[in-house]
Structure 1
C-alpha cells in the first residue's frame, strides 16, 4: 500500500477552524484541486434526523390580543418552565385547551410544551379568567417566557 504524503497549509487550517468557531458551525469542508480538508468540532457527530410536525392552521379564536396596561404581567403571567414548542390543543385540528375569556381552574391544562419529543402539559397555577394568550400554536418558547395572562 502506497501512502501519498502532502503538505498541509497550517494557515488555511487555522482560518477554517476560526470560520467554524466564528459562525457557530459543527463542520466545514474545503476543496482545492486534489486536496480536500474537512474540520469537525469534537463531539459534533451528526445526530439522527427528527421530523418536525407539519404546520397547524391557527385557530382564529386564539388570536393574540395586546396586553392591557392594567394587567400585572409579573403576577398574572404563566411562564414557560422549559424550552420547547407550544401546542394549544391536544392534537392538530382539535379544539384549543383555552381561549381568551375562558374561566380556568387551578390545575387545568392550559397548553402543551413539547420538549425532546415529550409532551408536557402546562397547568393553571390559579383560578381565574384568560385575559391574553401570548403564544401561538407551533411557536418555539424559551424558559421563563410569558405564555398566558390569567386574572
Structure 2
C-alpha cells in the first residue's frame, strides 16, 4: 500500500450514490487520482417450479409490434445529448421552478437543458447546438449512466 492514498470518505460517498440511485458502477477522476466503485448485483436464484400443464397457444398479433428504440441506438442519434457522468438528472433548477426546457422548445447552443447531481454537486448539461428539443429521454429524479442519451435536439 505504499504510495497509495485512499480517500475513504470519497469511497463512502460513491457507495452511497450507488445505493441511492440503484446504479451498479460509478467512477470519478481528478488529475492523477481515480476512484471506481462497483457493486455486484444480487445473485439470482432460479426457482424450481413443479411440472405445469402447458398453456393454451396464444394467437399471434395480426400486425408486428415495433420494439421501442434501444437506448444504445438513441445514444448514436446525431442530435443526442448524452450524459457526461453518472448521477441523478433534474429537469428543474428547484422543485418550485419550471423545467429548463420542454419538448418542442427551441434552444440555443450553450443553453442549460438540465442538471446532473453527482457527489452532491449539480452540473449543468448544456445544449451542444441550437435546435428544437424533439424528445426528453429522462424524467426529473431519474438516475443516469455515463453515455446515456438524455435529450434529442434536431
**TM superposition score normalised by structure 1:** 0.54
2:123 maps to 120
Question: Is the counterpart of residue 150 in structure 1 residue 128 in structure 2?
Answer: no
Where structure 2 has 5 or more consecutive residues not aligned to the other structure, the ranges are: 1-7, 21-67
Rg larger in 1 or in 2? 1
* Equivalences, count: 91
1:97 maps to 100
Where structure 1 has 5 or more consecutive residues not aligned to the other structure, the ranges are: 1-42, 53-65
2:133 maps to 130
1:86 maps to 89
Between the aligned partners of 1:120 and 1:79, the Cα distance in structure 2 is 13
Give the conservation status (yes or no) of the 8 Å contact 2:133–2:152: yes
Once the two structures are superposed, residues 104-138 of structure 1 have per-residue CA deviations (whole angstroms, 9 ceiling, x without a partner) of 00000000000000000000000000000000000
- Which segments of structure 1 move beyond 2 Å, counting only runs of 4 or more? 46-50, 71-74
Between the aligned partners of 1:73 and 1:107, the Cα distance in structure 2 is 20
**TM superposition score normalised by structure 2:** 0.53
Q: Give the superposed CA RMSD.
A: 2.9
Q: How does 1:16-55 map to 2 (within 5 A)?
A: 47=12
Give the conservation status (yes or no) of the 8 Å contact 2:75–2:148: no
Q: Offset at 1:47? A: 4.2
